[in-house]
Structure 1
Amino acid sequence: MAWSSVLKELLLLGNIMLSFILPSSTTAVRFTNETDRLALLEFKERIAEDPLGALSSWNYSTHFCQWRGITCSRRHQRVIALNLESQSLAGIVSPHIGNLSFLRIITLQNNSFHGKIPPEIGRLFHLRSLTLSNNSFEGEITTNLTYCKSLRLLNLVDNKLVGKIPNELSTLSMLLGLGLSSNNLTGNIPPSLGNLSSLAEISIGYNNLEGSIPDDLGRITGLEFIVVSSNNLVGTIPPSLYNLSNISTFSVYDNRLHGEIPGDIGLILANLQWLSVGNNLFTGTIPVSLTNASRLEYIDFSSNEFTGPVPDNLGMLPNLYRIQLSENKLGTTDGNDMNFISSLTNSTRLKLIVTDVNHLRGSLPNSMANLSTQLTTLYLADNLIYGSIPSGIGNLFNMEDLNMEFNDFTGKIPKEIGKLHRLQRLYLNDNRISGQIPSSIGNLTLLSVLEIRDNSLDGPIPHTLGNCQQLSSVGLSHNNLNGSIPKEILYLSTISDYLYLSHNALTGPLPSEVGNLKNLVKLDISKNKLSGNIPDTLGNCLLLENLYIQDNLFEGMIPQSLSLMRGLQDLDFSHNKLSGEIPEFLGTLPFLTYLNLSFNELQGEVPKHGIFRNASAVSVAGNQKLCGGIAELRLPTCIITASSKRKSHSLLLKVITPVVFMVLVLILLLSFIFRRYLRRPRRNEQSPAPPFPQHLTVSYAELFKATNGFSEANLIGVGSYGSVYKGILDENDETLIAVKVLNLDQRGAGKSFISECEALKNIRHRNLVKILSTCSSIDFHGNEFKALIFEFMPNGSLEKWLHPEADGQQVLKKLSFMERLNIAIDIASALEYLHHHSHATIVHSDLKPGNVLLDEKLTAHLSDFGLAYVLSEFSSSSASNGTNSVAMKGSIGYIAPEYAIGGKVSTHGDIYSYGILLLEMFTGKRPTDEMFKDGLNLHCFAKKMACPERVMEIMDPHLQMKEDTRGRTLEWLVSVVKIGVACSMDSPRDRLEIRDVVTKLHSIRKVYEGVGTHEDITILAPR
């Protein structure tokens, strides 16, 4: 019995020892899995910022295959994909990533990773896709990547990489896509890239590459996409590239290439869709064979040395929507250079024709009336075009930009031009157009720029111009216009850039209504026959920088009210009949650099301060009764008589005596206040800490200088409580800033300032606008001044991208489906942070397109926290239920319905606003659109159409979609619309949570990019 027991113990011990010596397959899997888990934890350790909690699930409580962003193989449970795109992560990529030996896909784009790309990635022999675009990676491209022999996609676009493109990349024989654009790469394009026989895409634009385009690239027979734009390349385009019959996109824009484009290019590259050779040194003629590339959509030959005619067969390209031929030497001497217009009438998708700055000669054919009604831009400026403007131009009813300046047009402006109801910019200046300005021009209610200077127009300025309530720039000078200045124009406070009426025959006074032009920067009414006094109301034009009223018949004194125009730089009152003394305030204007008061009837002593100290900047000639001033002006010395002394002495007594009396009374009053109140015991109250102790407060003077005196030219937006200006705070740095100036006369503006400071002082997120500093001071007039200084967003607000026509803005391109989806994800991410991840739950309360700003990469940043509620005493869960009901403010159309009946402030209100905003982004319709009445609103409208069969009816017509993915995009669009509908339900309980919104939108993007499945998208059906 004892031996049996001993034997069992020996067998058990042996098994234990064998388990160490010969581990089972399960143990081996467990060991290799442990390697992956430890590598991922090391990856997490190097992440400095994770505001969205993307890595919160990376812990010991769950298996790493369940961690967010991780995909494992089914059999061995090894990590095969790491996808953390657009998670606002910041940090460096750990070298331990090289231990994930089964990794096939790395996707880290749209984050804030920095440092070098770890060379350990070269150990990932199974890696197929490496996407690190839109980060801040720096240093040289590691040659260790060449060990990843299975690599098919290498995308390092938009980082800070430097150095040369490694020759060793030529060993990646399976590479299909090479994206290195928007870095700081130098050197030559390696000819060895020609060894990548499988390559379909080369994108290396926007670097500092030099040398020539290697002829070896012509050996990549399957190449479809080649972009080498915006480098320093020289030489010619290798003939071998013209043999790549599969090429659909060919862009060498903005280099120093020369030579001629082969005449048979259209025959060889028959699959071309995009051809861009602009801004180079190419010569020769534009090949007529382009029409053989029947899929061609985009042609850009601008800024070269091309000669000869514009091919008159381009209309054979049915898909052509954009043609740019500006700044060449195109043209002949036969006077028929505009015949190509007739051909283009067959291109029914045409949206843009740009042929300005050439030598095109001839008249416009009447057939231009038959051009595509989709045409939005027609630039024919600076050519040799003559004849009249065809009346049929009125058929082009979608026209937004019409530029025919610097030609030789004659005849009248056709009244049919009033049919172009979407026109925003009209340039007809520097021609020989005669007759009157048609009153129908008042029908152009979206017009922002009207330029018809330097013609032979006569008659009065039409009063109907007052209907153009978007006008910002008006140029009517150098004509023969007569009559008075219409008051209707002077009511247009939108006129901001300039109002030029000089060199005409205008009569009568300058109407007092000129004071309505409070945003105007430049006013020129010189060389007319205007008379009367200069109106005091002109001083209301506080932003004026240039004021020219010379060569008229004005009389009386220079108004004292002009002292309010502190930003004046140029002032010319010469050749009038002005009288009285030169006002002292002219010497106190801080930016005045040119002052001409010559040939008037001014008298008295010339001041010696300010601009009057610079004789080269001041002219007072022709005023016979002036004296004094600095010696360089060579004026007689002022003589002080005995009677004038007595008068001065008497005046001093009359002025000083009451002033001294008032000062004594004031001193007595202040001493009483000190004794009565200020000596009382004070309560133990602490002064409130400044809202942003980490920032230096900026002075009013610094902001005044940074924004050029809060010039209208620097104005970028106007809101409920103030205006926003762009500026440069540090001239050495030249970094642009945005200055939000509170209008403290507006009720609630002060509270808005406090609310915004309170909301912004402790939050930080890549999708929230970053506040840089504050200003609480006194302006030059002694008024209270408050401002917030933010980082500048060069692409403006989402409002101007979605509805450019409403603001008279020109958008260079329309937003694509993916761009809109990325913006929607950015906004949702910002809300998720405010509601769940900031120091306290914050309700934004005014979510709308105007409060979403876009940076240079179209990344969205939520702004304007003037109505925000900081629910610091609530947890996230309780905050969703809301705080006590208050007088809720916001923007009509975006306010949650429960607020209208006194409901509580809650995060559900932001969700409703987000839902409406999301629907607006993809339908292009505002919630306040005129169509929404009688119970119909944007929510119901979208809800009825949220199916593949009808979604086209509500889709924004400007939403760009790729033709090859159009059907699938419509499915994704339906999913997005359903999210918007689910967020904008009437009942707060029925709305989606913002966390779910972020997850679902990310899933849609994955499917769109081909890295997810339709099963990832589970959208609530509209109720």
Structure 2
Amino acid sequence: MKHTLTLQKMMFWLVLQQLALILILIITTDALNNNETDHAALLAMKSKILDPFGGGALSSWNESSHFCNWEGVLCSKRHKRVTLIDLTSLGLSGTLSPHVGNLTFLRQLVLDNNTFHGEIPNEIGGLYRLKVLSLEGNSFQGRIPASLSRCSNLVEIWVGNNNLVGTIPEEFSSLSMLKRIFVYENKLTGAIPESLGNITSLEVFSAPNNLLGGTIPNNLGQLKNLIFLGLGGNQISGMIPSSLYNLSNLNVLSLPFNDLHGSLPPYFGNMFPHLEFLQLQDNNFTGQLPNSIGNLTKAVNLTFDDNEFSGKLTVDFSRLVNLVILRLQLNNLGSGDFDEMHFLESLTNCSSLEILNIFSNKLKGVLPDFVGNLSLNIHFFVLAGNQLQGRIPPTIGNLVNLFFLGLSNNRFTGPIPSTIGKLQKLQRFALGRNQLSGTIPDSIGNLSLVNELYFNNNNLEGTIPSSFGNCQSLVLLNLQQNNLSGTIPKELFQVSSLSIFLDLSHNHLSGPLPSEIGDLKSLAALDISNNNLSGEILSSISSCTSLEFLLLQGNMLQGSIPNSMEFMRGLQFLDLSSNNLSGQIPTFLEKLSLINLNLSFNGFNGELPLHGVFANSTAVSVYGNDKLCGGIPSLQLPRCPVKKLNRNFSFSSKRIYAIVGASILGILILISSLVFYFRKRKIKSTTLELLPKESFVQVSYGELLNATDGFSSSNLIGAGGFGFVYRGVLDQIGDVAIKVLNLVNPGVTSSFIAECKVLKNIKHRNIVKIVTCCLSIDFQGNEFKALVYELMMNGNLEKWLYPSQDTSKPEFNLLQRLRVAIDVASALDYLHNQCEPTVIHCDLKPSNILLDQQMVAHVGDFGLARLYHSEMGISHHSSSMGVMGTVGYAAPEYGIGSEMSMKGDVYSYGVLLLEMLTGKRPTDLMYVDGLNIRNFVGQALARNAVELVMDQTILKSDIDISKRDNCLIALVKIGLACSEELPQNRMCMTVVVRELQHIKKAMFK
């Protein structure tokens, strides 16, 4: 019996062992099968991912190693299942494969800072173990999948900075473990779901910069664990619900750029003992700032600007020892009490304070001496646009780390304290529009880093200190509307950094212009009007090759307009009125790019020119010059007297002899030419009349042959499918560019005719001037076609954007690029809206934009142009080459057979503008799988990182950084608006020109 039991036990254990082996085999087989599922899912993901930078970020994702060893992949140790995928910042693009839903052990999916697009697949809802979903900084589209609510273990959702649309899913309320939701910078609409108030675990809700509307849900006050609430940059209205004041754990309350209203309750500052960031700017809040703000002892950043807060500022800030930023600008703060600036004393205890901005309020009273006791860390201090009075305290000089000091538009009196010389880090100093008196202190010369100085509209007197010559970083100086006297110190004109404007107008300056005026080679605007300057306009002024505005009116200048000004091709506004100038008005002014010319009330005489700016009576003024005659009829000048023929015999004889001699010489030349012709037995070379003779100068093949030294390779300046471009010199014209067409190229004749027809009647400063269309027979009897243009000394835009390594061109800075952008836009606006017939260029790109000696841009190459006859409603394609523009610049609708249109030119311009800003061609190899220059820049704009994709050259500009960045953002927005996918959504070139001019004007302020 005992042996039987023992045998039964042994049999039992053998069976258990067999079952265990079978179970292990089943588990192992299942694991192997599941491993294969993960492997297949990863390969499916890889198939949808592209690496536009070619860096091989996923090169390890191959069969030579186990997928757990692939880059960015982490597996569980036991079952070798994928638990984490992290492909952050690898420059990847493409889409996210739905097969990601098969990675059922996945706990973290992190694809941040790439350029993935397409929709977030619904299959992601099958990842029931997922804890972290992080897709920030991509271009994902479509809705946030509601299927995410099935990922019951989700703790963090990061989908900010994409192109997501639709609403925030109500279903998120079922995610009981969710702590962080980041959906910022998308295009989400609708109201904030009230159901979010049920996620009691929620710590962070960040949804700024969307299109969310409605009000802030009252039940968000149930989120007792919330430490971060960010709803700025939406369309949220209503008041802050009282329930939010129960969120005592908040570190960040950010609600700016909405339509919120109401006042802050008196107890506001008592409710948030941990609050570090309070951002309420750009709303419609009213009432007084509650004194309890002074109890936010952890506060680092307080921004109340651009609201309607009012009344006396009585907050005691002394306990806010961590405060770095306080912004109160653009409100109605102020009571009129003499001591209302006393709150500054409490701020002297804020030793970390760096930015204090109280611009544009209604503060009165005096600026107390203890302003000099503010934090030594303060670098931005602005009180401009108030009603402060009294003297500027000398203690202001204690704030030695100031970058920006703004006290303009107040009622300050007394002198500028000499202690400002201690502010040696100052970059912008604004004292304009006060009632300051006394002299400008010599210590101004200590401000060696200052970029902009505004002392305008005061009562300053004495001379301009020569110490300004030490301010070698100065780009802008405004001293207008003061009582300054004496001569202009030459040292001021030797500040070579001056590039935006120099305004000395409306003073009592006397004496001649210093000869050093020519040193201002980078200056764009010079205004010395309404002074007592005497002497002549110096010829050295022509060295100011960047000048666009030259205003010298209201002085006592004499003599004539110097001929050297002919080379100031960038001038747009020239005012020499109310002086004592005399002589004839030079005809070279016709050739300048003048928009406005005022020569009134001088002593000019003789015949007024007819062309250029003189052809527009609204653009030129010559009143008060009694000895002028001629001009266009609308100027109503007397006719010039007809010159009578002098019949003196001696003179007449000389004329007859000269005419006879010239005739004989002409006959001899003709005979010798014929002899040469017959000896060589060649066909006569002649210029055929493609167009009427009066349209162009007539030039033969032989003349072009001589002009280019036999089309020597040393004169070759360009080549392409069209043929070759040579530099040459024609006796009757001077320097020219000669485009010799390659007649083997099919359609080149049609292109030749198109360009001649388009350009024959166009006269615009920003369109290449054509000298002639030469259609001849060469010395071998072959047909010869060439276009002769005005030579552009600085080549084409492409060579400036992409200089070769052996090229020693100067840097192509932001201001130059802006001017080129304006020039090209002006040319297109003229072609589209001021020509009849309308001209559609059809091939706008950098190689077709030429730059003259003054870096003025000219649009050229009209070989693909269309003429649109608006009165007939039809367009005529003047080129039969069948080309729809250049890849990368051609509008997308051309690819599906749409007719060429003005909107196509606008698209090309948008691409061109983005290319000028980024320094990257639209055909760059990085643009693959749906990525193009437009969405590349658009993504950077969406994440407030435009500077990261800009050409580094333009970031080195001397322009104030904030002004530069505002300019770049504005230009990017224009580029994006012009290159919209749908033609009807693109801007009109007239609007583009106006917006660009506004940007330029803002930079010149």
Q: Which TM-score applies when normalising by structure 1?
A: 0.67
Equivalent-residue separation in structure 2 for 1:782 and 1:448 (angstroms): 24
Give 1:658 deviation, angstroms. Answer: 10
Match of 1:723 in 2: 812
Match of 1:443 in 2: 446
Aligned residue type for 1:628 = G
User: In structure 2, do the counterparts of structure 1 residues 152 and 794 end up closer, same or farther at CA, with 3 Å as the change threshold?
Assistant: farther
Structure 1 segment 645-794 matched on structure 2, within 5 A: 721-724=810-813, 725-727=816-818, 773-774=846-847, 777=850, 779=852, 791=914
Aligned residue type for 2:498 = I
Equivalent-residue separation in structure 1 for 2:490 and 2:708 (angstroms): 57
Contact 1:157 1:183 in 2 (8 A): yes
Match of 1:204 in 2: 207
Contact 2:583 2:604 in 1 (8 A): yes
Match of 2:945 in 1: 857
User: In structure 2, do the counterparts of structure 1 residues 550 and 358 end up closer, same or farther at CA, with 3 Å as the change threshold?
Assistant: same
Contact 2:292 2:315 in 1 (8 A): no
Give 1:719 deviation, angstroms. Answer: 9.0
Q: SS of the counterpart of 1:494?
A: coil
Structure 1 segment 124-273 matched on structure 2, within 5 A: 124-273=127-276
Contact 2:479 2:503 in 1 (8 A): yes
Give 1:655 deviation, angstroms. Answer: 13
Match of 1:494 among 474, 497, 504: 497
Give 1:311 deviation, angstroms. Answer: 2.8
- 1:120 has 2:123 as partner: yes
Match of 2:599 among 597, 600, 609: 597
**Cα displacement string for residues 29-80 of structure 1 (whole angstroms, at most 9, x for unaligned residues):** 1111000000000000111335221111111111100011000001111000
Q: SS of the counterpart of 1:553?
A: coil
Q: SS of the counterpart of 1:237?
A: coil
Equivalent-residue separation in structure 2 for 1:240 and 1:853 (angstroms): 35
Contact 1:606 1:629 in 2 (8 A): yes
Match of 1:292 among 292, 295, 298: 295
Give 1:616 deviation, angstroms. Answer: 2.1
User: In structure 2, do the counterparts of structure 1 residues 623 and 679 end up closer, same or farther at CA, with 3 Å as the change threshold?
Assistant: closer
Contact 1:362 1:384 in 2 (8 A): yes
Equivalent-residue separation in structure 1 for 2:297 and 2:723 (angstroms): 65
**Cα displacement string for residues 398-425 of structure 1 (whole angstroms, at most 9, x for unaligned residues):** 0110000000000100111000010000
Contact 2:293 2:315 in 1 (8 A): no
Aligned residue type for 1:598 = S
**Cα displacement string for residues 517-555 of structure 1 (whole angstroms, at most 9, x for unaligned residues):** 111111110110001111112122222222111110011
Match of 2:404 in 1: 401
User: In structure 2, do the counterparts of structure 1 residues 649 and 28 end up closer, same or farther at CA, with 3 Å as the change threshold?
Assistant: farther
Match of 2:633 in 1: 631
Q: SS of the counterpart of 2:74?
A: strand
Contact 2:436 2:459 in 1 (8 A): yes
**Cα displacement string for residues 216-266 of structure 1 (whole angstroms, at most 9, x for unaligned residues):** 111111110011111111111111111100001111111111000121111
Give 1:777 deviation, angstroms. Answer: 5.0
Q: Give aligned-pair identity as a percent.
A: 41
Contact 2:263 2:285 in 1 (8 A): yes
Equivalent-residue separation in structure 2 for 1:348 and 1:329 (angstroms): 27
Contact 1:556 1:577 in 2 (8 A): yes
Contact 1:853 1:860 in 2 (8 A): no
More displaced 10-residue stretch of structure 1: 631-640 or 436-445: 631-640
More displaced 10-residue stretch of structure 1: 600-609 or 656-665: 656-665
User: In structure 2, do the counterparts of structure 1 residues 155 and 456 end up closer, same or farther at CA, with 3 Å as the change threshold?
Assistant: same
Give 1:563 deviation, angstroms. Answer: 2.5
Contact 1:124 1:148 in 2 (8 A): yes
Contact 2:239 2:261 in 1 (8 A): yes
User: In structure 2, do the counterparts of structure 1 residues 475 and 675 end up closer, same or farther at CA, with 3 Å as the change threshold?
Assistant: closer
Aligned Cα RMSD in Å? 4.6
Equivalent-residue separation in structure 2 for 1:677 and 1:182 (angstroms): 62
Match of 1:474 in 2: 477
User: In structure 2, do the counterparts of structure 1 residues 672 and 485 end up closer, same or farther at CA, with 3 Å as the change threshold?
Assistant: closer
Match of 1:42 in 2: 44
Contact 1:330 1:358 in 2 (8 A): yes
Q: SS of the counterpart of 1:275?
A: strand
Match of 2:609 in 1: 607
Detail structure 1 runs of 4+ shifted over 4 Å in the superposition: 18-23, 643-680, 686-691, 698-705, 717-720, 728-735, 771-778, 780-797, 852-856, 858-865
Match of 1:103 in 2: 106
Match of 2:387 among 377, 384, 388: 384
User: In structure 2, do the counterparts of structure 1 residues 734 and 855 end up closer, same or farther at CA, with 3 Å as the change threshold?
Assistant: farther
User: In structure 2, do the counterparts of structure 1 residues 533 and 149 end up closer, same or farther at CA, with 3 Å as the change threshold?
Assistant: same
Aligned residue type for 2:635 = L
Give 1:321 deviation, angstroms. Answer: 1.0
Give 1:863 deviation, angstroms. Answer: 6.1
**Cα displacement string for residues 464-493 of structure 1 (whole angstroms, at most 9, x for unaligned residues):** 000000000000010010111111111112
Equivalent-residue separation in structure 2 for 1:552 and 1:505 (angstroms): 10
Contact 2:500 2:523 in 1 (8 A): yes
Match of 2:992 in 1: none
Contact 1:796 1:854 in 2 (8 A): no
Structure 1: give runs of 5+ residues left out of the alignment: 1-15, 681-685, 736-770, 798-829, 839-851, 866-890, 892-1023
Contact 2:606 2:627 in 1 (8 A): yes
Match of 1:947 in 2: none
Equivalent-residue separation in structure 1 for 2:245 and 2:859 (angstroms): 61
Q: SS of the counterpart of 1:727?
A: helix
Give 1:586 deviation, angstroms. Answer: 2.1
Match of 1:950 in 2: none
**Cα displacement string for residues 364-390 of structure 1 (whole angstroms, at most 9, x for unaligned residues):** 111111111111011000101001011
Contact 1:534 1:556 in 2 (8 A): yes
Aligned length: 751
Equivalent-residue separation in structure 1 for 2:701 and 2:30 (angstroms): 94
Match of 2:583 in 1: 580
Q: SS of the counterpart of 2:164?
A: strand
Structure 1 segment 49-60 matched on structure 2, within 5 A: 49=51, 51-60=54-63
Equivalent-residue separation in structure 2 for 1:463 and 1:776 (angstroms): 43
Equivalent-residue separation in structure 1 for 2:26 and 2:539 (angstroms): 97
Structure 1 segment 316-327 matched on structure 2, within 5 A: 316-327=319-330
Give 1:780 deviation, angstroms. Answer: 6.0
Aligned residue type for 2:147 = N
Give 1:688 deviation, angstroms. Answer: 10
Equivalent-residue separation in structure 2 for 1:461 and 1:656 (angstroms): 66
Give 1:612 deviation, angstroms. Answer: 1.8
Structure 2: give runs of 5+ residues left out of the alignment: 1-17, 674-698, 714-718, 725-750, 770-794, 827-843, 861-910, 929-939, 957-1005
Q: SS of the counterpart of 2:60?
A: coil
Give 1:617 deviation, angstroms. Answer: 2.1
Equivalent-residue separation in structure 1 for 2:659 and 2:353 (angstroms): 74
Q: SS of the counterpart of 2:30?
A: helix
- Larger-Rg structure: 2
Q: Which TM-score applies when normalising by structure 2?
A: 0.68
- 1:331 has 2:334 as partner: yes
Match of 1:803 in 2: none
Contact 2:487 2:510 in 1 (8 A): yes
Aligned residue type for 2:811 = G
Equivalent-residue separation in structure 2 for 1:732 and 1:537 (angstroms): 26
